[in-house]
Amino acid sequence: MNPMLSLIEKWFTVFSLVFLTGILRWASLFVSPDAKAISINDYNPFDSINSLFQYTIYAVSLFFLVARGKSTIHTARGHFLIWLLPIMATMSFIWSDFPDESLRKGIATIQTSYFGLYFSSRFGLKQQLQILAWVFGIVAVLSLLFGLVFQSAAIEAGANAGAFRGPFTQKNLLARVAVLGAIVFLLNALQYSRRNKVILWIGFGINVLLILMTTSKTALLLLILVLLLLPLYRALRWKSTIAVPLVITVIIFGGSIIAIFLANWEAALSAVGRDASLSGRTGLWEGAIQKISERLWIGYGYQGFWRDDGGAVDIWLSGGYKPPHAHNGFINMPLDLGLIGLFIFLAILAVNYVRAVTCLRSGKTMIELWPIYYITFFFMYNYSENTIIEQNSIFWALLVSVALSVKQHNRNKFLQPQSIVES
């Protein structure tokens, strides 16, 4: 391929992923710094520009997928589950209370998914991590510069007064991007030569700084856990019987669940300065679970619950404010797509975690840590935020990319077996 065209394509991918973080909406300029304030005007002049970006990105990525049809089919095949969830989201317009909304946003999830397919079919895991370092470096620097120029918009008021949200609508949206950025820079810094290490460690430090500035304790706890998991994940490469990685995997999953449980426990919350109701989320979850029971199997339709005149009205009235989702992906998913959707998602997560362990054990570098780290991040962050399936979201696009990439990586390793060395 022509080197110039290859470079242009890489920068197209960087821009597309920056767009999918949501930063280019500059939303905090048009949203009250008080999360519980009633919004009078939701107009954002950047939305029309972002719509143009969206259509262009998906059209160009679809063109590349069609142009490389053989590679596209080779990457996409054999992973039915990852496509089933966005298809179900699109088809949910049939039973949704807001069919036009569910259909429109469902189609956008399919577009987000095939961008993930493009990313995984065009770039290997090593190139993906390099590109993501540029993406999260750009987002981090833009967030800091935004805070310097528009300080009044970048700092929250009300219950989260003083927390840094940068160009995003809420501090937790920036925090989860910063956690993922920290993971990307950490793995790159541990992988590459001394010449690049300084820049990569600076990128890691900037993302950690952003996490601290957001005052998100969920993000901080997850960052600490990321660091603690590093030696455990590397231990999965030890030469031993299959019992060793299985036991360590159980410990990691069990430890993650215990850590989340402790983070939500009253004593632990008091110790880190959180109220026992998780800033009112427990009441929100109770109301949402009650609503799930009313449409147990297929839910209210994709993005059809948290709307004016939708099923969330009763929850909003009882809580006194209007959250846009359940602040828990595992609760929000059944509201959208019922228990069937939740079971599909859990199956996606379980299958790809096993594949990520296989990928990790088959390699010798830090690159093979990326899939298992991303799946861990995705699993854990959904306990306090909704990150499962979102249209125009880098998180869903990367889950699709990781799922397809790890399968492709394992397939290639099987065809060209390499010995596993002790790490």
pLDDT of 420 reads 31
Percent with pLDDT over 70 in the chain: 81
> Using CA atoms, how far apart are residues 133 and 131, in angstroms rounded to an integer?
5
In sequence order, the 6+-apart residues with CB closer than 8 A to the CB of 104 are none
Q: Tell me if 10 sits within 8 A of 122, measured CB to CB.
A: no
Q: What is the mean pLDDT of the chain?
A: 82
Which tens digit of pLDDT belongs to each residue from 259-315? 555 445 444 444 445 444 455 566 777 777 888 888 889 988 888 887 877 777 777
Distances (CA, A) of 155 to 105, 197, 210, 275, 315: 30, 32, 12, 22, 28
In this prediction, residues 396-407 reach a mean pLDDT of 92
The encoded tokens of residue 209 equal 């700084």
The whole-number pLDDT of residue 246 equals 64
Residue 115 has a pLDDT of: 96
Give the type of residue at 402: V
Q: pLDDT tens digits, residue range 191-211?
A: 877 777 889 999 999 999 999
Query: What pLDDT score was predicted for residue 49?
Result: 93
pLDDT of residue 314: 72
CA angle 238, 242, 247 (to 5 degrees): 80
Q: What is the pLDDT of residues 306-351, one digit of tens each?
A: 787 777 777 766 655 666 777 777 888 888 899 999 999 999 988 9
Mean pLDDT, to the nearest integer, of 414-419?
A: 47
CA distances from 126 to 136, 261, 351 (A): 16, 34, 22
What is the maximum alpha-carbon separation in the chain? 62
